């Protein structure tokens, strides 16, 4: 398979799932600042101009973080990356949607891509602050989801690498994680697959997860 990704982005979550599954795949780095996602050769693969894209063995591309994560779990049932209990499985899907749609799409997007939410630079600071407020509120909700649990679905699932990438972003931006999220983040950083991915993407795990909880 061919995996189109950008180091340190939301694609890190999918990268971790692929590594956990010990899948064989080729990595193609999409340089967003250079506009690689708008180039004709990439649009031919993914007309949405988004990341990640996973081109499967049959040559068909799959886009959207939730869809790729779900497909990987369903096509590797023995690895049990989706809980067997329907309530835990629903919790996993709910968390995927909330992390990608709200924490990332409404919160961090305002911080990282401020100009898409406000054309006037005079409004950028307030837009970024709103993004931080959305993230902090969402983290409090997710902190309750993880109460008494090591992982979102009870056991490790596709939700955990996806939650990890926004925890990682918070770490980089020095947005304090509440206790359960910080414990989850550190638990993820201790996983061998996560350590391999972070090293491949150019990060030193020894410098991550060292801040105190909010």
Find the angle CA(95)-CA(124)-CA(126) to the nearest 5 degrees: 70
Cα 157 to Cα 155: distance, rounded to the nearest angstrom: 6
In a 3-state reduction of DSSP, which class is residue 62?
A: strand
Spatial contact of 5 and 11, defined as CB atoms under 8 Å apart? yes
Express each pLDDT in 131-157 by its tens digit. Answer: 999 999 999 999 999 999 999 999 999
With a pLDDT cut of 70, the percent of the chain lying above it is 100
Kindly report the pTM of this predicted structure.
Answer: 0.96
CATH code for the domain defined by 86-191: 1.20.1050.10
Q: How many helices (H) and strands (E) does the chain have?
A: 9, 4
Q: Give per-residue pLDDT as tens, 52-85.
A: 999 999 999 999 999 999 999 999 999 999 999 9
pLDDT band at 213 (very low <50, low <70, confident <90, very high): confident
Determine the Cα–Cα distance for residues 197 and 192; give it in Å rounded to an integer. Answer: 9
2-79 CATH: 3.40.30.10
Task: Give yes or no for a contact between 138 and 98, defined as CB atoms under 8 angstroms apart.
Answer: yes
Residues of the chain with CATH 1.20.1050.10: 86-191
**What whole-number distance in Å separates Cα of residue 96 and Cα of residue 161?**
10
- Which part of the chain is CATH 3.40.30.10? 2-79
Count Cβ atoms below 10 Å from residue 189 Cβ, excluding itself: 18
Neighbour count for residue 184 (Cβ, 10 Å): 23
By the 8 A CB rule, do 99 and 158 touch?
A: no
C-beta separation of 171 from 208 below 8 A: yes
């Amino acid at each position: 398979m061919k995996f189109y990704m950008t180091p340190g982005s939301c694609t890190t979550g999918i990268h971790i799932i692929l590594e956990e599954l010990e899948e064989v795949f080729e990595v193609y780095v999409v340089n967003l600042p250079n506009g690689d996602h708008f180039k004709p050769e990439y649009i031919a693969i993914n007309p949405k101009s988004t990341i990640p894209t996973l081109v499967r063995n049959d040559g068909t591309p799959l886009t959207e973080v939730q869809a790729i994560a779900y497909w990987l779990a369903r096509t590797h049932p023995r690895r049990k990356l989706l809980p067997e209990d329907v309530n835990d499985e629903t919790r996993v899907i709910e968390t995927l949607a909330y992390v990608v749609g709200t924490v990332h799409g409404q919160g961090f997007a305002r911080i990282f891509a401020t100009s898409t939410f406000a054309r006037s630079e005079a409004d950028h600071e307030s837009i970024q602050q709103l993004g931080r407020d959305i993230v902090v509120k969402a983290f409090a909700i997710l902190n309750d989801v993880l109460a008494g649990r090591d992982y979102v679905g009870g056991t490790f699932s596709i939700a955990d690498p996806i939650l990890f990438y926004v925890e990682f972003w918070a770490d980089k931006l020095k947005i304090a994680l509440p206790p359960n999220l910080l414990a989850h983040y550190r638990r993820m950083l201790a996983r061998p697959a996560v350590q391999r991915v972070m090293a491949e993407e150019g990060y030193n795990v020894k410098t991550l997860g060292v801040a105190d909880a909010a």
